[in-house]
Amino acid sequence: MADIKYDIVKELGVLSENAKGWRKEVNLISWNGGIPKYDIRDWAPEHEKMGKGTTLSEEEIKKLKEILGEIL
């Protein structure tokens, strides 16, 4: 399996934190040198490990905002 390289361009916010210190975060991340995308996933305290998550383009994050605005 190839190494996945990432650069957290901007930390946008923390949605929650569990008892072990892992946090579900929203960040702007460049994956493998690509264009930064919005990312929601669990991270270990020093970002040394990550859990499964989802990555969204700017268009997708705008659509998500629209959907959330309709239901909240």
What the block records as the tokens of 13 is: 């916010």
**Which parts of the chain fold into alpha helices (H)?**
58-71
Give the phi and the psi of residue 5 in degrees, each rounded to 5.
Answer: -100, 140
Model confidence over 24-69: pLDDT tens digits?
999 999 999 999 999 999 999 999 999 999 999 999 999 999 999 9
Residue 1 has pLDDT above 70, yes or no: no
CB 21 within 8 A of CB 44: yes
What pLDDT band is residue 22 in, cutting at 50, 70 and 90? very high
